[in-house]
Structure 1
Amino acid sequence: MLEVNKTLTYSGDEMVEVLKEIEYILISLHKMGSHYAETLPDSYVEYANETTKFIDDNNICERLSGIRKILSSKFDTSLGEDDMDDLERACEDIEYWIPKNEL
């Protein structure tokens, strides 16, 4: 990792924005899980539908993208010898979701 990327500074406003978004998503999902926990597995379809509806109706992917934009904005994105920047390198081993039929 580049030395400049080892210590990053964010404004209080940036961190408040990030934390509010995380809080909204985390607490909402927790409340959904708690609400349906007592009736699972019988209510699994309703729980899955409600979770999907929450993600879609509340632009959760867009909100997470905004968090990522704020957090990644401070990184120096100079490419290393491997043609990757520090964030790309740090994320290269993440196992992303794939459809079951592609496993």
Structure 2
Amino acid sequence: MAGGSPANALLEAFRKRQKDSYNEAVKIDNFIKALQLEISDLKRKNAILQDIEQKYASLERQVADLKQSSAALKDENASLKGQLPRQRELDVKREGFGNIVG
């Protein structure tokens, strides 16, 4: 045999297969590490997103509270405006009464 004995040929084929398997395992390991990094990055981004969503929900509640307060103040303002003519009338009577007494 030109290449050596059949045992040597089998051994060489086994070594090549072992090397190919090792190289494939290294590729798979590197791929797994890349996926793990990507998962970690996505988890970090998800945590940031959840924080933003919580802050947004809080701001929405604050806006709703402010709208409610604003509506209450508008109602109070309208009520006070409605009372203004009567208050002026009372003030005029008081001033007139004060002039009579004084």
Structure 2 length-normalised TM: 0.28
Bigger helix fraction: 2
Structure 1 length-normalised TM: 0.28
Higher relative contact order (CA 8 A, sep 6+): 1
- Structure of larger gyration radius: 2
